[in-house]
Amino acid sequence: MREVLFKHLTSLGARKKDISLMEIFQKDGVVARTERRYLYFIREISHVYDEGEVQHWMEEQSKLAPPKRRHFHILKEHNDDLGEERLVCKVAGTFYVVIGRDIYTIAFLHSFKVSLMKATVQG
């Protein structure tokens, strides 16, 4: 058994993009489920009028708030009663994109989840 679901939500006016991929498969009495998810949020769009303003904008941003570090989180769970193992990894942070004279501040969250459990027999 193998199922794949791919979802890519896009909208020209939206400030959020959500991409996910899920797989479920069974082999040797174990069901494995993996999920990858990528979320992007446009927090701010700044317009600059000339190239010199980009440097000025960067200096002002570092004065307002120190650069945010990426956050990395790992969670591992084991449940003997259910016969299940779970692993969740998440990375969150911010990056900047310059397109023409617009500077986009983009926050992101990437997650990867794995679940392994014994297959149940249905009759």
The DSSP line for the chain is -EEEEEEEE--TT-SEEEEEEEEEEEETTEEEEEEEEEEEEEEEEEE-SSHHHHHHHHHHHHHHSPPPPPEEEEEEEEETTTTEEEEEEEEEEEEEEEETTEEEEEEEEEEEEEEEEEPPP--
> Quick one: pLDDT at residue 101?
80
> Quick one: pLDDT at residue 110?
94
With 0.75 as the threshold, say if the pTM is over it.
no
> Quick one: pLDDT at residue 36?
93
As a whole number, mean pLDDT of residues 78-97 equals: 89
> Quick one: pLDDT at residue 67?
61
Position 68 confidence tier, pLDDT thresholds 50, 70, 90: low
**What percent of the chain shows pLDDT beyond 90?**
24
